[in-house]
Amino acid sequence: MSSEISANKPAPIIAEKNINKFNRTSGLRETIETLENGDYILISGFYSDALLLLRELHHYLKDELPNNSFQEQREYRTEYRRLSNLVLLEIKNQKLVVRKSPDIGWLEKFYSDNDHFFLTMPQVQGLNSAWQWYKNGISVPVLRNKLHTYYGVYFPTRFDHLTLFDNWLKRYQGPKKSAIDVGIGSGVLSLQMCKHGFQKVYGTDTNPNAIIGLTEFMADTKLSRKIELDYANLFGKWEKQTELIVFNPPWLPTSKELDRLDEAIYYNENLFPEFFAEAHKRLLQDGKLLIIFSNLAQITNVTNEHPVENELAEGGRFQLENCFKKKVKAASHRTNRDQHWRSEEEVELWVLVKL
């Protein structure tokens, strides 16, 4: 299956010949002014020079922009993203040119036919982090084995919602012939269902890297016979009715002030109406529809709308069987963001049945 689709990867940049260069002797503020003007900066010395410039960029933006409320933090990250993506690194023969740089396996995997190009520093950082996660694996409390997620695939870094789902699966007494995992991502929900005895899970995703990565991860193991994949929106080719549909959608609506960053994080206004309409067709009359969500958008004043509550009030398709909630753990002391709202945040597991 993975051979039929192409992986998403950072697009190689062809930079102009007379690009501005930065090394340890360059002036930091003058360099930031160049970035503010929308011009590229090439890191020409050490990999650590790029890290130094990005740290200084954070200091500069903290002096220029407020960074307290949830919305202000989103705006701060947008401006940081704009400027940092003008910082370039050179790649030759699938290796970073700068000295003392990390060895990133994705460069060879993705760009074997391109011997000379440039990427932005955030892109390189993303590739480097993703390579470490892919190579070393990610431990998830609800799974026996580590996840080895492919580049560009969202994976859980917080586990309260997975614990909530796992506890529900432990109590579930219904049939376990099949289930559909809409937006399978890293595959964690499907792996949980297999762990709890589901015979077959059908997964879809609009991210080709999720399908490629899971296909590679499962290879010819027993999992490859239990989990079937389709690179498609919502339910894709899975038309047959099933006893369980699971959906862990994005928890925040798209903002008109921001570009859509990631379909795993932000949802548009059409996602939930289309999902509920299609889910109603594919759920058996005595089946369960599970939606994993959060009150994050409400407590951060992004919106007062709750898509599941809206469906129950106006959709005429489902009724509530139960809703389980769990307070999230406090933000890590290592984060630099002020996440005072975490004390009010709850993850939610909505269990719906057909009317």
Residue 140 lies in a domain: no
Q: Are 79 and 61 in contact (CB under 8 A)?
A: yes
Q: Is 211 exposed, middle or buried (0-12, 13-18, 19+ CB in 10 A)?
A: buried
Q: Are residues 205 and 336 in the same domain?
A: yes
- Same domain for 130 and 211, yes or no, is no
Task: Give the residue-averaged pLDDT of 221-244.
Answer: 95
Average pLDDT over residues 101-118: 95
Q: What percent of the chain has pLDDT over 70?
A: 92
- 165 shares a domain with 26: no
One domain, residues 344 and 263: yes
| Of the candidate ranges 108-122, 230-244, 280-294, 336-350, the one whose mean pLDDT is the lowest | 336-350
Query: Do residues 99 and 189 both lie within one domain?
Result: no
Percent of the chain scored above 90 by pLDDT? 68
**If you search the block for the tokens 């959608």, which residue do you land on?**
249
Is 290 part of any domain?
A: yes
User: At residue 69, does pLDDT exceed 80?
Assistant: no
Expressed as residue numbers, the domain containing 214 is 160-354
Whether residue 227 lies inside any domain: the answer is: yes
Of 116, 134, 152, the last residue of a domain is 134
Q: Report helix angle 28-36 to 70-84, nearest 10.
A: 100
How far, in Å, CA of 283 to CA of 318, rounded?
Answer: 11
The answer to whether residue 145 is domain-embedded is no
Specify the CATH number for the domain of residue 287.
3.40.50.150
Residues 92-109 pLDDT 10s? 999 999 999 999 999 999
Pair 218, 341 in one domain: yes
Residue 201 and residue 96 in one domain: no
Reduce the secondary structure of the chain to three states and give it as a string.
CHHHCCCCCCCCECCCCCCEEECCCCCHHHHHHHHHCCCCEEECCEHHHHHHHHHHHHHHHHHHCCCCCHHHHHHHHHHHHHHHCCEEEEEECCEECCECCCCCHHHHHHCCCCCEEEEEHHHHHHHHHHHHHHHHCECCCCCCCCECCCCCCCCCCCCHHHHHHHHHHHHCCCCCCCEEEECCCCCHHHHHHHHCCCCCEEEEECCHHHHHHHHHHHCCCCHHHHEEEEECCCCCCCCCCEEEEEECCCCEECCCCCCCCCCCCEECCCHHHHHHHHHHHHEEEEEEEEEEEECHHHHCCCCCCCHHHHHHHHCCCEEEEEEEEEECCCCCCCCCCCCHHHHHCEEEEEEEEEC
Same domain, 187 and 331: yes
Q: Do residue 270 and residue 169 come from a single domain?
A: yes
Domain match, 89 and 210 both: no
The mean pLDDT value for 107-117 works out to 94
Is-contact 193 220, C-beta < 8 A? no
Of 147, 171, 141, give the one whose Cα is nearest residue 159.
141
pLDDT of 260 reads: 36
Amino acid 2: pLDDT: 45
pLDDT of residue 323: 96
Instruction: Mark whether 51 and 93 lie in a shared domain.
Output: yes
Query: Quick one: pLDDT at residue 262?
Result: 53
Mean pLDDT across the stretch 287-308? 85
Amino acid at 42: L
Higher pLDDT, 131 or 15: 131
Q: Is residue 139 part of a domain?
A: no
- Give the tens place of pLDDT for each residue, 257-285: 433 345 557 778 889 999 999 999 999 99
Same domain (yes/no): 168, 259:
yes
Q: Give every CB contact of residue 335 below 8 A, 6+ residues apart in sequence.
A: none
Which has more pLDDT, 269 or 308?
Answer: 308
pLDDT band for position 338 (cuts 50, 70, 90): very low
In this structure, the strands spanning 318-327 and 346-354 are: antiparallel
Which pLDDT value is given to residue 283?
Answer: 97
Q: What would the mean pLDDT of 136-152 be, rounded to a whole number?
A: 93
Closest to 81 measured CA to CA, from 49, 123, 129: 123
| Spatial contact of 99 and 45, defined as CB atoms under 8 Å apart | yes
Asked if 85 contacts 15 with a C-beta cutoff of 8 angstroms, the reply is no
| Cα–Cα distance measured from residue 353 to residue 165, given in angstroms and rounded to the nearest whole number | 17
214 found inside a domain: yes
Query: How many domains are there within the chain?
Result: 2
